[in-house]
């Protein structure tokens, strides 16, 4: 649970609410980090654009190296959720 209180779901812009619906379908609930990122939609979508560029299939980096980089960045940012998620992806669990 976050220290920051998030607004009700209907207070987010529609693209974020759509992402919430997709997460409910996949995970059974909306993940807390997405609610936090969703508070600043412009920053969130800029981050998603950067992430998609980094994760594209035509990237010059090997997928295993990209996964390790994502785990390390998560560790540097002290995001336990991100470390777990990216480590799971690196191990092929997602």
Distance CA 92, CA 19 (A): 23
pTM: 0.63
Phi, then psi, of 34 in degrees rounded to 5:
-70, -35
- Given this model, what pLDDT does residue 28 score? 93
- Residue 5 CA, distance from chain mean position: 19
- Given this model, what pLDDT does residue 79 score? 83
Distance CA 86, CA 88 (A): 5
Distance CA 79, CA 44 (A): 16
- pLDDT single digits (tens) 74-85: 899 888 888 888
- pLDDT single digits (tens) 9-47: 889 999 999 999 999 998 899 988 888 889 999 988 888
Task: Answer yes or no: is pLDDT of 60 > 90.
Answer: no
**Coil, helix or strand for 4?**
coil
């Amino acid at each position: 649970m976050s220290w920051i209180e998030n607004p009700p779901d209907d207070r987010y812009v529609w693209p974020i609410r759509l992402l919430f619906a997709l997460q409910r379908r996949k995970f059974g609930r909306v993940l807390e980090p997405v609610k936090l990122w969703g508070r600043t939609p412009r920053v969130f979508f800029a981050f998603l654009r950067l992430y998609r560029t980094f994760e594209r299939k035509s990237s010059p980096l090997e997928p295993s190296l990209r996964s390790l980089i994502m785990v390390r960045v998560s560790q540097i940012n002290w995001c336990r959720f991100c470390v777990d998620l990216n480590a799971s992806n690196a191990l092929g669990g997602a």
